[in-house]
Amino acid sequence: MFATRFLDLPPLLSASGSVALPGSKSISNRVLLLAGLSAGTTAIHDLLDSDDTRVMLTALRTLGCVIEEKGAALLVTGLDGRLDVKEAQLFLGNAGTAMRPLTAALAVLAATQGGRFELSGVPRMHERPIGDLVDALRQLGCDIACLQTEGYPPLRLGSGAAPTGHGLRTQAPIRVRGDVSSQFLTALLLALPLVAERHAVTVEVEGELISKPYVEITLNLLERFGIVVQRDGWRAFTVPQGSAYRSPGSIHVEGDASSASYFIALGAIAANDAPVRIEGIGTDSIQGDIRFIQAARAMGADVLSGPGWLEVKRGRWPLQAITLDCNHIPDAAMTLAVMALYAQGTTRLTNIASWRVKETDRIAAMANELRKLGAAVDEGPDWIAVTAPVRWTAAAIHTYDDHRIAMCFSLAAFNALAGAAPPAPVRILDPQCVGKTFPDYFERLFSVVRTDTAHVPVITVDGPTASGKGTLASALAKALGYHFLDSGAVYRATALTALRLGVGTDDEPRLAELAAGLDLHFSADQITLRGLDVTEALRLEEVGAMASKISAWPAVRAALRELQLSFRQVPGLVADGRDMGTVIFPGADLKVFLTASAATRAERRHKQLISKGISANIDSLRADLEARDARDQNRSIAPLKPAEDATLLDNSALTVQASVDAVLEVWQRRRPFASPSA
Ligand code: DC
Q: What H or E segment, with its residue span, contains residue 565?
A: helix 554-565
pLDDT for the residue 612? 84
Res 465: pLDDT: 85
331 is known as an active-site residue = yes
Q: Is the pLDDT of residue 1 over 50?
A: no
User: Residue 173, SS3?
Assistant: coil
Whether 608 shows a pLDDT value over 90: the answer reads no
Residue nearest to atom 10 of ligand 1 (CA): 548
Q: What is the pLDDT of residue 609?
A: 87
pLDDT at 155 over 90: yes
Q: Which atom of ligand 1 is nearest to the CA of 576?
A: 18
Query: Averaged over 465-492, what is the pLDDT?
Result: 95
Q: How confident is the model at residue 581 (pLDDT cuts 50, 70, 90)?
A: very high
pTM strictly above 0.75: yes
Per-residue pLDDT band at 422 (split at 50, 70, 90): very high
The CA 508 to ligand 1 mean position distance, Å, reads 17
Average pLDDT estimate for 157-186: 87
Mean pLDDT of 199-216: 92
Q: Does the pLDDT of residue 76 top 90, yes or no?
A: yes
527 CA distance to ligand 1 middle (Å): 16
Mean pLDDT of 23-30: 95
Torsion 175-177-182-187 (CA) sign: negative
User: CB–CB of 316/349 below 8 Å?
Assistant: no
According to DSSP, the β-strands at 573-577 and 458-462 are parallel
Reported as a pLDDT band with limits 50, 70 and 90, residue 678 is very low
Res 286 pLDDT > 60: yes
676, pLDDT greater than 60: no
Residue of the CA atom closest to atom 11 of ligand 1:
548
**Average pLDDT for 461-477:** 93
Q: What percent of the chain has pLDDT over 70?
A: 98
pLDDT at 58 > cutoff 80? yes
Mean pLDDT, all residues of the chain: 94
- Whether the per-residue pLDDT at 214 is higher than 50: the answer is yes
Q: pLDDT value at position 166?
A: 60
Q: Give which of 611, 623, 640 is closest to 551, Cα–Cα.
A: 640
How much helix, strand and coil, in percent to the nearest 5, is found in the chain? 40, 20, 35
Q: Rounded to the nearest whole angstrom, what is the distance from the C-alpha of residue 671 to the centroid of ligand 1?
A: 29
Q: Which one-letter amino acid corresponds to residue 449?
A: V
Mean pLDDT of 285-312: 96
Calculate how far, in angstroms, residue 630's C-alpha sits from the geometric centre of ligand 1: 13
- State phi, psi for 311 to the nearest 5 degrees: -130, 125
SS (H, E, C) 311-361: EEEECCCCEECCEEECCCCCCCHHHHHHHHHHEECEEEEECCHHHHHCCCC
Q: Is the pLDDT of residue 596 over 80?
A: yes
User: Ligand 1 pocket check: which of 491, 518, 565 to mutate, most ligand atoms within 8 Å of Cβ?
Assistant: 491
Q: Write phi, then psi, for 22 (nearest 5 degrees).
A: -75, 165
Helix (H, G, I), strand (E, B) or coil at 374: coil
User: Of 8, 132, 331, 624, which residue is the catalytic one?
Assistant: 331
Residue 667, pLDDT score? 97
The atom of ligand 1 lying closest to the CA of 489 is 4
Atom 12 of ligand 1 has which residue's CA nearest to it? Answer: 548
- The per-residue pLDDT for 635 is 85
Q: How far apart are CA 399 and CA 527, in angstroms?
A: 35
DSSP state, 583? I
The whole-angstrom separation of Cα 278 and Cα 293 is 12
* Residue ranges around ligand 1 (CB below 6 Å): 465, 487-488, 491-492, 544, 547-548, 551, 577-580, 628, 632
Please tell me the predicted confidence (pLDDT) of residue 167: 76
